[in-house]
Structure 1
């Protein structure tokens, strides 16, 4: 065989979400002369990571939105695998609907299929029942089950027979540096401020409404406080309106989707993460690698706690209680926590080497 083996990663799109950032961390750190990633997406638009993917040698294919009941979608999926017999390893990141993709892949002769769980629940919307029923098909069409954490794997696959793939990061990029922190604060115009931060898509599980309620209580006590919200999503307009209605618009910075999350974390003093549910969030790995104090909900899996800098609080507690805990760390002096992250096996170099060898052994 000449050239690298090509592994097809199946995603919704390659924006700067947790799943996509995890994939890019692995992609940047594998030996691409041996293993190359290509991406099958379910949107036609270009997204944040597309330019980098192509620069690294990856191909991006587009299908319509994933709909297990759409004949035209299933035909397009079938046609794709008929046309692309070169993909003998398909790694699917479509959570509950992964079985839909992998069934068609198997029917078209794909030798090795992988389903990867990234969440320990789903939004309780109109699609919930469909997804819960659909996930029962995943094991039937998967040769390997991967999960970002124990809770996500058990929920998605309803078995213990899966392998945890850590949401690993480049720890060098996140190591705390006081000079860098001061420089970023100066650039953002928040010198001498107490900075509360959050990184996450503006969607239901991230619980942005509660983040605003907590920060509203924080700023009543500490007037020199600011909230950095990094990310974008469907619920952003609703959150912007809530901030305006509370009269705290001048204290909340909507940063949008950013490529410099590592720098922004340098400028934060406390990382606030009151999620309703999670798999194993890559942002928690990043925040701890930055030496940040992390105040998180009891719904975030405890396996993501790698340092002594994390405090879990019950979601039922009031915003005032949460704010009181946040304010404890106004004067906290951050430390270099890189050794702890590496000891917990969340450094990308080791993990990327493992995944690379896994693919090569299965090809």
Structure 2
């Protein structure tokens, strides 16, 4: 296949809350081989038209395949729209990204029925989010049984994401592609740290950071409990919450009820999250589940100590100053102790990105994995 023009459609990619899949695919497109044409099939509408325009300047087309009506009819419409697109545009690969099997199955079935020879399913999580989670788990477990009948290639971002999605697929048939990042962009710079802290009104406080969509998965309720404990102990700290999401208004209301507004900073989304990492002193991620969190890798690339939930795969630990803690009420004191420990430390953060490069977490390594999948050789 080397030397041929390969066409790939990345399905279920959008900039809604600019999550990990969006960042991953964006990086791959920006660094991909000229032998490959990579387009996007979006199930949700892009929020920012400039992001669509950016992909177009890179030579990638963005197709909206979704439907804004009922969720049940949405599955049918998405299936029909994707099948029609694939029949009209001959793609060599359809690469479908999702956290649950039903999303993979609908798109994979459309791809197979459209005659696509290589149908890639890619697991990005290890649990379900949103409402009606018990029902969603049942649907997920039912649908994942059929993936082997419609997909040709199986990919996951970590071992736990592979187990979650492909329990019946032999381990050696699942390709693990680590969520690499642009390490140079996250290289710590003290002048940026000082500028951002000044903009945030942070002086000598310990700045605890969190980047994540306001949803069940990221467990913002637990961050509020940590904030309350920090305030009760009169620790000189603030917590920076970066992100948007369906639970944001509710979390803000609870924070106000708990009288935590003086310690919390609700920042919203950012296109320069790497600068926010540099301003932080500690990064926390008390998630209920993750595949392999890109934000955790980004935080470590910036030299930040990280405290993960023990529900997150141990593969997320790439540097020494990383701990995993429980997320029960009894564990809150441990989070506070570790925040205090890491926040009081002063370290040289400038070399951390080099360690991540050695661990094969650069975007170049990830792109090479994508290229080896699409081209059949290591580039």
Using the size of structure 2 for normalisation, the TM-score is: 0.89
1:195-224 Cα shifts (integer Å, max 9, x gaps): 000011111011000011102211333453
Unaligned 5+ runs, structure 1? none
Aligned 1:52-201 pairs, distance under 5 A: 52-65=54-67, 67=72, 70-84=75-89, 86-95=90-99, 96=101, 97-123=103-129, 124-158=133-167, 159=169, 160=171, 161-201=173-213
- 1:79, distance to aligned residue in structure 2 (A): 2.2
- Match for residue 348 of structure 1? 363
Give yes or no for contact 1:8–1:39 (8 Å, CA) kept in 2: yes
1:152-193 Cα shifts (integer Å, max 9, x gaps): 011101131201001001111112222221111012211222
- 1:76, distance to aligned residue in structure 2 (A): 2.9
- 1:69, distance to aligned residue in structure 2 (A): 8.0
Secondary structure at the aligned position of 1:196 is classed as strand
- Match for residue 328 of structure 1? 341
Q: CA RMSD in A?
A: 2.1
Give yes or no for contact 1:99–1:139 (8 Å, CA) kept in 2: no
- 1:43, distance to aligned residue in structure 2 (A): 2.3
Count of residues in correspondence between the two structures: 360
- 1:251, distance to aligned residue in structure 2 (A): 2.1
Give yes or no for contact 2:303–2:352 (8 Å, CA) kept in 1: yes
Give yes or no for contact 1:218–1:324 (8 Å, CA) kept in 2: no
1:214-256 Cα shifts (integer Å, max 9, x gaps): 0221133345311111111000011101111111213211111
Secondary structure at the aligned position of 1:318 is classed as helix
Q: State the distance in 2 between where 1:238 and 1:361 align.
A: 48
- 1:67, distance to aligned residue in structure 2 (A): 4.5
- 1:68, distance to aligned residue in structure 2 (A): 7.7
Secondary structure at the aligned position of 1:167 is classed as coil
Q: State the distance in 2 between where 1:286 and 1:299 align.
A: 19
Q: State the distance in 2 between where 1:168 and 1:62 align.
A: 26
Q: In the alignment, which of 228, 245, 249 is matched to residue 233 of structure 1?
A: 245
- Match for residue 31 of structure 2? 29
Larger mean CA deviation between 1-10 and 73-82 belongs to 1-10
Q: State the distance in 2 between where 1:139 and 1:202 align.
A: 33
Secondary structure at the aligned position of 1:232 is classed as coil
- 1:57, distance to aligned residue in structure 2 (A): 1.6
Determine if the alignment matches structure 1 residue 339 to structure 2 residue 354. Answer: yes
Q: State the distance in 2 between where 1:68 and 1:340 align.
A: 47
- 1:349, distance to aligned residue in structure 2 (A): 1.4
1:286-336 Cα shifts (integer Å, max 9, x gaps): 011111111111101001111101011122233233212211122212332
Q: State the distance in 2 between where 1:349 and 1:146 align.
A: 18
Secondary structure at the aligned position of 2:119 is classed as strand
Q: In the alignment, which of 262, 270, 281 is matched to residue 274 of structure 2?
A: 262
Q: State the distance in 2 between where 1:3 and 1:58 align.
A: 17
Give yes or no for contact 2:282–2:304 (8 Å, CA) kept in 1: yes
Larger mean CA deviation between 308-317 and 58-67 belongs to 58-67
Unaligned 5+ runs, structure 2? none
Q: State the distance in 2 between where 1:59 and 1:46 align.
A: 16
Give yes or no for contact 1:13–1:43 (8 Å, CA) kept in 2: yes
Larger mean CA deviation between 299-308 and 91-100 belongs to 91-100
- 1:56, distance to aligned residue in structure 2 (A): 1.4
- 1:80, distance to aligned residue in structure 2 (A): 2.4
Using the size of structure 1 for normalisation, the TM-score is: 0.93
Q: State the distance in 1 between where 2:200 and 2:74 align.
A: 47
1:263-283 Cα shifts (integer Å, max 9, x gaps): 000000010111111100000
Give yes or no for contact 1:228–1:252 (8 Å, CA) kept in 2: yes
